[in-house]
Structure 1
Amino acid sequence: MDPLFTEPIPLSEGINVRELLNMPQEVKLDFKKKREVFHKDDDIFATMDDDSSDEDVLATIEKSVDDTMLASPEYQSFADLGAKMVECVCPSGGVRILVIEEGDGPLVSLDSEVTFHYAGYWEGASIPFDCSLTTKTGAPLRQRVGTDMLPGLAIGFLNVHGPSARFQLLLAPHVAFMECGAPPRIRRAEHVLFVITLYDVRTLHAAAAFNDLPREEQAKFDVAINAIKDIRVDGKRLFEKQKYKRAIKSYEQAISIINLTRPETEQQEEEIKNIKIKIFVNLAVCYCKIDKPKYVITMCENIDKYIDINTHCKALFYYGKAHEMLGKTDDAIIYYKRALKLEPKNKDIGKTLADLDERMKKSALNERAMWQKAFDTNVEEKVVYDVDEEFKKSVIDMCQDLAGNEDFAKFDLPSGFTRDEIECLKSLTSQFEGLTVFEEGQGTRKKISIIKKQT
Structure 2
Amino acid sequence: MAKHIDSLQPGIKIDDLMHEDGITFEIGGQYQDDDDEEFAYSPTVQFSNDEMLDMLNMNDFEDEEDGDNEKETVTIYGISFEKLKTKMKAITADKKVMKYIKQKGVGEVVPHNAQVTIHYIGYFEHRDEPFDSTYISGRPKIMRVGQNCLIPGLELGILSMKKHEIAMFLIHPDLAYKALGCPPRIPPNEEVVFIVHLIDILDDGSADTYENLSIEEKQSFEYVVQSVKHMLVAAKDYFSKLNMKRAIREYKKAIDSLERVKLKDIEEETEMNSLLSQAYTNLAICYNKLDMPHNTCMACVRAPAPTVKTHYHHGKALTTLGEYEKAKTELIIAHSMQPNNESVRRAIQETNAKERQYLEIQKRLWSNCFKYQDRETKVTGFRQALRELCESIINNSGITRQVIPEGFTDKEMEIVREEAALFGLDIVTCKRYSKNQVYLQKRNF
- TM-score category (smaller protein): 0.3 to 0.5
Normalising by structure 1, what TM-score?
A: 0.44
TM-score under structure 2 length normalisation: 0.45
The structure with more radius of gyration? 1
